[in-house]
Amino acid sequence: MSTKLKSYVQGKWTAGEGKGTDLYHAVTGNLLFQAGSQGLDFKALLEYGRANGGPKLRKMTFHERARMLKALAMYLNERKKDLYALSAATGATKADSWIDIDGGIGNLFVYASKGRRELPDETFFVDGNPEKISKNGTFVGHHICVPLEGVAVHINAFNFPVWGMLEKIAVNLLAGVPAIVKPATSTSYLTELAVQEIIKSGILPEGSLQLICGSTGDLLDHLTCQDVVTFTGSASTGKMLKSHPNILDNSVRFNMEADSLNCSILGPDTKPDSEEFNLFIKEVAREMTVKAGQKCTAIRRTIVPEHLTEDVITALQKRLKGNVIGDPSVEGVRMGPLASMEQLADVKEKVKQLMQTCEVVHGSIDQVDVVGADSKKGAFMSSMLLYCKDAFNTNGAHSIEAFGPVSTVMSYKNTEEAIELARLGKGSLVGSVFTADNNFAKDVVLGSASMHGRMMIVNKDCAAESTGHGSPLAHLVHGGPGRAGGGEEMGGIRGVNHYMQRTALQGSPTTLTKILNTFLPGSETKEDVIHPFRKYFEEIEIGDTLNTHRRTITEADIVNFAGISGDYFYAHTDETSLEGSVFEKRVAHGYFIISAAAGLFVDPKKGPVLANYGLDNLRFTIPVYVGDTIRVQITCQRKTKKEDREGQIPQGVVEWYVNVINQKDEIVAVETVLTLVERKNVDTPKAEIKEETKILVQKN
């Protein structure tokens, strides 16, 4: 008797009404589960996410959300054994399951790290640089990104029931947006198990994750402009969803990642005994057989030089013959069945269509030898290699995708033809090039990148550490133009923007500084008698400023710095060579000016400042000559509390906006200096400071 899967909605587990859809074991054909969402109130699901999960997530900073993702990744990492066991029912080998389960958890780790390192410890982030839009700088512009106040609806494909969910929710949760996950029904039982573990952990705020096992019902009818829909699957289904009247009427953000006819290109410089040739053969065979070819990034078109066509086909035939198909639990089996009998029927039908313009050079559409299983009961299929003799005048191989262990070989005569074949896919998630000729690689990439979301170039130098043609990474964009859907997923912090509203702000620098919690040039500053480096992290406020005493630059300074640094550039040391240069006379080293500036603003006594943490955005704007006098204005621009670590002094990073100014009140250099500052979680020092200081409000 089968088990009825449950959806997790409105804070509880609920089985849909009625019988539901029967779900079968991909290897044995045995009935395992039923899935159905009949009876669910889909409008209430959306409202629950908006009213409960959204406000809780938006109150958290990016760093808090990132730490939440890290905790979830660690929790799942310790409990993945059961996920692996159930994953076998989808036809996945242990290696296939590793991609799905460990790969998904890995995405959580990546976004946890990026969120803490690349985003502020705020509930929003400031985008780009300020825009000076008035003559005197009293009216400026800036961009702010805030979380959308809706729900992310993820409609996922059957091939990666864990990875597909985790790679998407990692991004929307970091952005501060709750999610409703709708996995493909055929493998939803594995997603359900993963969500059970997530809910049990108690790590996510209630309402930030809901699960639908079954159809989406009328869910799309109730979306608003604050919601986001992401879809992974077939191009035809994606187009149907994207054109939903409510999505169009409300301009609902829709990100589509569709299956595409990805290609891999072998360079004409290779030979059958070269490393790049062997790497190419290995990669094509692997992409045909991993997950039984059920990957949106799998190599569907194998593009090779005409003079190497027979060698490639022979090498692939040999490698594919060694591919053992059967029950993934049996030792030595390298490829399991497809995910379902429905999927098997679809792939066979597509192969029949391809056979009208291509010939089969390996495998059989009707016969497959399996180990440890019954080929008639499970969704087993032979790996199939086809050859398209006339790829430029027949369209089948460039328009029909058999979503299984199938690839088609096609030939090119020159670089231009290789590029044309790559582009005939009309938009792909990924293309790869195997060559030792960097000029060929450059021509192919620049000629076909506009039709690809990602391109991987492999030679013997990088092969050992290459992540592979078919492996999207959380750091990089996953998506592609045209047939691939025109969307983008992940892409590092770039992906977070899909769940944020970018809003332009206009106002006075002081007002925007208050809103953004980031000092803008021209904003009011605060100066007191206590040096800012004498203050603990909590005591420093945005806009705190120090104006230093002055220093006159001498010829001895330049000579001594040249001797210490070894920098004897002519403009510093040879006044006779200045004719025709940009300098009027002997100029001070820029790095000496920065060093001298540090000498002016640094407080030498031991105090809360623990260390210099770095220097950003350094620019030298006006030369400093012998006899010029400089001073420094240093202002607290931004503060970021660092995560506490055992054995480490509690600390934060303070960013200081630094202007180096000459005797004419001209800015000669600007930089951002970062300091590590000790934290002291008490309120009294701030009050004491205010009592003994006189606050001076002034303009930059």
Indicate if the pLDDT at residue 550 is higher than 90: yes
Distance of CA 687 to the CA centre of its chain: 44
Indicate if the pLDDT at residue 37 is higher than 70: yes
Q: How many CA atoms lie within 13 A of 206 on its CB side?
A: 7
% of the chain beyond a pLDDT of 90: 71
Instruction: Report whether 259 contacts 430 (CB < 8 A).
Output: no
Instruction: Report whether 317 contacts 430 (CB < 8 A).
Output: no
pLDDT at position 16 is 82
Q: Which two tokens stand for residue 64?
A: 């808090």
pLDDT tens digits for 148-192? 999 999 999 888 899 999 999 999 999 999 999 999 999 999 999
Task: Tell me how far apart the terminal alpha carbons of the chain are, to the nearest angstrom.
Answer: 76
Strands (E), 148-261: 152-155, 179-182, 209-211, 228-233, 253-258
Indicate if the pLDDT at residue 1 is higher than 80: no
Indicate if the pLDDT at residue 319 is higher than 60: yes
Please report which confidence band the pLDDT of residue 685 belongs to, taking 50, 70 and 90 as the band edges: very low
Instruction: For residues 398-406, give the mean pLDDT.
Output: 92
Please report which confidence band the pLDDT of residue 17 belongs to, taking 50, 70 and 90 as the band edges: confident
pLDDT tens digits for 276-317? 999 999 999 999 999 999 988 999 999 999 999 999 999 999
Residue 597: which of 654, 559, 549 has the closest Cα?
549
Q: Which two tokens stand for residue 611?
A: 């260390």
Burial of 619 (0-12, 13-18, 19+ CB in 10 A): exposed
> What is the C-alpha to C-alpha distance for residues 344 and 324, in angstroms, rounded to an integer?
18
Tell which CATH classification among 1.10.760.10, 3.40.50.720, 3.30.70.980, 3.40.309.10 matches the domain 262-472: 3.40.309.10
Q: What's the CATH code, domain 39-259? A: 3.40.605.10
> What is the C-alpha to C-alpha distance for residues 445 and 451, in angstroms, rounded to an integer?
10
Beta bridge partners of 144: 126, 503
Which residues are known to be catalytic? 257, 296
pTM: 0.87
Please report which confidence band the pLDDT of residue 629 belongs to, taking 50, 70 and 90 as the band edges: very high
Residue 469: which of 455, 482, 459 has the closest Cα?
455
Could you give the maximum distance between any two Cα atoms of the chain, in Å?
Answer: 95
> What is the C-alpha to C-alpha distance for residues 118 and 331, in angstroms, rounded to an integer?
44
Indicate if the pLDDT at residue 666 is higher than 60: yes
What integer best gives the mean pLDDT of the chain? 90
Burial of 42 (0-12, 13-18, 19+ CB in 10 A): buried
User: How does strand 452-458 pair with strand 477-480?
Assistant: unpaired
pLDDT at position 700 is 36
Instruction: Report whether 35 contacts 189 (CB < 8 A).
Output: yes
Residue 15: which of 2, 25, 6 has the closest Cα?
6
pLDDT at position 235 is 82
Beta bridge partners of 256: 231
Quick one: the chain helix, strand, coil %, rounded to 5? 35, 25, 35
Please report which confidence band the pLDDT of residue 212 belongs to, taking 50, 70 and 90 as the band edges: very high
Instruction: Report whether 5 contacts 35 (CB < 8 A).
Output: yes
Please report which confidence band the pLDDT of residue 581 belongs to, taking 50, 70 and 90 as the band edges: confident
pLDDT at position 684 is 38
pLDDT at position 681 is 66
pLDDT tens digits for 465-507? 888 888 888 898 888 898 888 888 888 888 999 999 999 999 9
Q: What's the CATH code, domain 519-699? A: 3.10.129.10
Which CA distances in Å does 460 have to 269, 278, 286, 432? 13, 10, 18, 14
Instruction: For residues 610-632, give the mean pLDDT.
Output: 93
Query: What angle, 0 to 180 degrees and rounded to 10, lies between the N-to-C axes of helices 415-423 and 438-448?
Result: 40
Task: Tell the residue number behind the tokens 């803008």, with chain if given.
Answer: 520
Q: Where are the domains of the chain?
A: 39-259, 262-472, 519-699
Q: What does DSSP assign to residue 107?
A: H
> What is the C-alpha to C-alpha distance for residues 200 and 283, in angstroms, rounded to an integer?
39
Instruction: Report whether 436 contacts 270 (CB < 8 A).
Output: yes
> What is the C-alpha to C-alpha distance for residues 16 and 557, in angstroms, rounded to an integer?
80
pLDDT tens digits for 558-578? 999 999 999 999 889 888 888
